[in-house]
Amino acid sequence: MRLNHFRSVGAFLLLALLPALQAQAQEAGGKTIFKYSIDLPSTYVFRGDDVFKAAYSTKNAGKETAFNVSPAVQPTFTFYTPSGVGFVVWGSFALTDRDTPGLGVARGCAVPPCPIGGLSDFDELDTTLNYTWENKMGSYEVGVVNYHQMGYFKGTHEMYLLWKLAWLEDLGPTLGFYNDAENSSSYSTLSVGGGTDFTWKVLLGEKHYMDTNNYSHAGLYEATVTLGYNLGEGFGVALAAANRPSMTMHGYTLPTTQPGTVAWLTLSYAKEVKE
């Protein structure tokens, strides 16, 4: 836990240096040095799961809704090097119900039930170290992600490989594989997409994991469709919907009244610093 704390502090120091790095990049010239973006989603969705689901479950008498309004701010900073090595810092911070009891995570205590905090428990700061290259078969990215939810110092690591195929360029077919050895799980994706002003993307995600009894589970975890529009000057808006074909894969006990589809709206801004 102490190591994760130092990683978080180091990342915040790195973010503090961004204005100076940007000025140097603009003066020095050359290829893209880094890019930054900020997303404002209506709720934080990860692989078809609404991370803030406790918020709208509490507001709706224990029932989830397909469209939850618990917004977050999610900045991303990506650094590039000429060798193909890159470094990414990504964060997510709840904008509402940060200190509302009962929406976060139960913390350890001597006598249960333990107190549960607000959505600030899910504040997250992830770091990624990756390497990219290309050949006649397409472009590739391999790396390791450190997931760290700062509210309760819970973290894990995933190694991943992305392969964007050289064929059917208009569809941009991309295969992905993520492996979390610490939690005995893996995640595979297939996505296609395209567009310039109007953009679209379809992603299928398959999860495989071992439960506490060492039983293996695998199945389609999400089918997500995203439609976006480029507003110009780096601004954009997107509407996404994730269908969850197997609710049991998402930890629900059947029968359940919870929606099989989660939808969310995202406003974004992105900027690249080039030569």
Output the DSSP codes for 110-150: SSSSPPB--GGGG-EEEEEEEEEEEETTEEEEEEEEEEEET
Please state, as a whole number, how many other Cβ atoms lie within 10 Å of the Cβ of residue 70.
Answer: 24
User: What are the C-alpha distances in Å from 235 to residues 34, 232, 239, 268?
Assistant: 18, 6, 14, 6
pLDDT, tens only, 80-112: 999 999 999 999 999 999 988 878 776 666 666
Mean pLDDT for 192-219 is 90
Please say if the pLDDT value at position 211 is more than 90. Answer: no
Nearest to 105 by CA among 97, 115, 113, 96: 115
Cα angle at 199 between 32 and 237, to 5 degrees?
A: 85
User: Do residues 31 and 274 lie in contact, with contact meaning Cβ atoms separated by under 8 Å?
Assistant: yes
User: Do residues 180 and 157 lie in contact, with contact meaning Cβ atoms separated by under 8 Å?
Assistant: yes
pLDDT, tens only, 10-37: 444 444 444 444 444 444 456 888 999 9
Cα separation, 176 vs 139, whole angstroms: 12
**pLDDT band of 208, cuts 50, 70, 90:** very high
Segment holding 271, helix H or strand E: strand 261-273
Q: What's residue 22's pLDDT?
A: 45
Query: What is the CATH T-level fold of the domain 2-273, as seen in this structure?
Result: Porin (2.40.160)
Segment holding 240, helix H or strand E: strand 235-243
